[in-house]
Amino acid sequence: MPDTLREAGDAPRPDTPGGRDSAAVLEVDGLCRAFGEVKAVDDVSFTLARGGSLGIVGESGSGKTTTARIVVGLERADAGRVRVGGGSGGPQRGRAARLARAREVQMVFQDPFLSLDPRTTVEAVLRETLRLHFPGRDHPARIAELLDQVGLGAREASALPRQLSGGQRQRVAIARALAVEPRILVLDEAVAALDVSVQAQILNLLADIRKQTGIAYLFITHDLGVVRCVTDDVIVMRHGRVVEAGSTAGVLADPRHPYTRLLLDSVPRPGWDPKHIAAARRAL
């Protein structure tokens, strides 16, 4: 562990006798994944508290998406363990295992257009998801409730993805994920493609949903402003490794690792000097 790794700002969480963290909804331990020579994920460990929000930040190529894909079961790990909701972890294969994982962990991607069928209306998307996970509970009232939860109405319900704005499509993707009633929502650059004003609306919506439902977020972003808005704790990844971890407020106010400082310095602001940043990056 690098010496910059810090404890989260919260009080220690009670451990159960097996060494498990009973307050955790997700425990990731020693995750590794290589693609040929590239160590995309290199000994990554973190814990997400029940109803908590953990940010993963780092530049493009630092291993954030690969970590997320392993957590949701879309990618295998070479080593390490993912434990969801105090479950047993370990190898789980096949359709039943995938459904079981999907029920606990849902993912929202950067571009909802790619994950929505262009010929399926919003209403039908939600109906299909409910039918798959809760047979018999795909009734219109539940669909209306989900739409309401993400700030969409009857007009959007009958629309096709291409008839919606980027922000509305992302709301649909969030509603579809919530339909499954997961304990964890993994958001991978989920607001990165949106205009700043729409981004703020979606971030507020996500904060409200967390308050209402107690769902936990694993929030992946390259944007430190976003992390500040919606996470309690944060880990900073670089070249597949966690270089810093702690409470979001603590890490942003007092970054210990030079890479975290560089990320913070890279945020454009008055007096900002891109040449200085580029030189610091080369020196790192």
Ligand X SMILES: Nc1ncnc2c1ncn2[C@@H]1O[C@H](COP(=O)(O)OP(=O)(O)O)[C@@H](O)[C@H]1O
Beta bridge partners, 241, equal 238
- Decide which of ligand X, Mg ion, none touches 61; Cβ closer than 5 to 8 Å per partner kind: ligand X
Using the structure block, give the residue that is written with the tokens 């972003």.
221
We find the least distance from the C-beta atom of residue 64 to ligand X, in angstroms, to be 3
Identity of the residue, 103 or 222, whose beta carbon is nearer to Mg ion in the bound complex: 222
**Partner whose binding site includes residue 130, from ligand X, Mg ion, none (CB under 5 to 8 Å by kind):** none
User: For residues 35 and 270, which CB has a smaller minimum distance to ligand X in the complex?
Assistant: 35
What are the residues facing 47 on neighbouring strands? 27
* Minimum distance from residue 283 beta carbon to ligand X (Å): 22
Query: Smallest distance from the beta carbon of 62 to Mg ion, in angstroms?
Result: 8
Residue type, 23: A
263 and 55 in contact (C-beta within 8 Å)?
no
* Residue 63 contact partner, candidates ligand X, Mg ion, none, CB within 5 to 8 A by sort of partner: ligand X
Question: Binding residues for Mg ion, per CB under 5 A?
Answer: 64-65
C-alpha span between 27 and 86 (Å, rounded): 8
- In the complex with Mg ion, the residue whose CB is nearer, 64 or 238, is 64
Cβ of 245: how many Cβ atoms within 10 Å? 26
Q: C-beta of 218: minimal distance to ligand X in Å?
A: 13
List of residues contacting ligand X (CB under 6 A) = 35, 38, 40, 58, 60-66
Least separation in angstroms between residue 33's CB and ligand X is 8
Residue 161 and residue 124 in contact, taking contact as beta carbons nearer than 8 Å = no
Distance CA(157)–CA(172), nearest Å, equals 9
Nearer Cβ to Mg ion (24/77): 77
* 217 and 206 Cβ atoms separated by less than 8 Å: yes
